[in-house]
Amino acid sequence: MMTDPSVLAPAPAAIRFDAGSHARAKIGYVLLATEQTVQDDAMRLRPPGVGMHFTRVANSDSITNETLAAQAELLADCAATLLPDGSLDVVCYACTSGSLVIGEERVFAELSRGAPGAIATSLITGVIRALRKLEARRIVVATPYLDEVNQREVEYLEQAGFEVLSMCGLNLEKDSDMVRVAPDFIAEFALAQDRADADAIFISCGALRTLEVVAEIEAGAGKPVICSNQAMIWDCLRLAGVDDRIDGYGVLFAQC
């Protein structure tokens, strides 16, 4: 049935606009399809007026060097789905192991193809920037990964100028297992890797729920602790010009 034209009122002559809900910044994250932790962590640390926007890249539940490398070809198309009006300020590939296996330069190039108006970054980039900000050179690393991924991470961090004193992984292959590692176990595991000569502890992997216990680990170790999502979100906010300090999530967010 046709609508009677007489019931359609004319639009206002002028419409008032404001800057919208996300006037301070808009940040986009490309997540793994299997990811279950990053989105919660990003929203936990979202300052007022900052938009957090998410898309997902196809992957299997198996996290190996081969499956991670295969994501490179998909990043541009995924990034293009994030605010295609061009208002995105920062775009980030939100996978620690994926970003180091693919390599930052390739990640940046692919993200920039999909979201050319946004500053491109990656999770491993945020980690490196965070460690450098804290002037941590000698580090111990705890991960959930297989040793083939751990070896790549050692090489990548050492090429970035860090001395990896030790790296210990949980030998998990499935992302669906990584997301279920209990936070209290993460704290015990991370503290067990600490050494007196380490400047900082790094707990690698965005799937781990380390953000929930990062302050506890830092208090127990008496030194800075960096975890993947903490460093990534900090990096994205700072790139977007948002310098809010947030207590309860380690010295990185509280002081840097």
Contact between 241 and 233 under an 8 Å Cβ cutoff? The reply is no
Cβ within 8 Å of residue 196, ≥6 positions away: none
Instruction: Assess if residue 8 is contained within a domain.
Output: no
Domain extent, residue 145, equals 126-228
Q: Which residue is associated with the tokens 């208090």?
A: 219
Instruction: Assess if residue 253 is contained within a domain.
Output: no
∠ CA 204-233-106 to the nearest 5 degrees?
Answer: 70
pLDDT grade for 8, boundaries at 50, 70 and 90: confident
CATH code, domain with 87:
3.40.50.12500
Lookup: tokens for 211: 């953000």
C-alpha–C-alpha distance, residues 164 and 139, integer Å: 5
> What is this structure's pTM?
0.95
Does residue 217 share a domain with residue 140?
Answer: yes
Instruction: Assess if residue 141 is contained within a domain.
Output: yes
- Give the other-Cβ count within 10 Å of 93's Cβ: 31
Does residue 35 share a domain with residue 120?
Answer: yes
pLDDT tens digits for 181-218?
999 999 999 999 999 999 999 999 999 999 999 999 99
C-alpha–C-alpha distance, residues 213 and 217, integer Å: 6
- Tell me what the pLDDT averaged over the chain comes to: 96
pLDDT grade for 6, boundaries at 50, 70 and 90: confident
Mean pLDDT value across residues 60-64: 95
Mean pLDDT value across residues 102-110: 98
Does residue 197 share a domain with residue 117?
Answer: no
Does residue 203 share a domain with residue 183?
Answer: yes
Cβ within 8 Å of residue 173, ≥6 positions away: 62, 63, 64, 146
Burial of 113 (0-12, 13-18, 19+ CB in 10 A): middle
Q: What is the pLDDT of residue 154?
A: 98
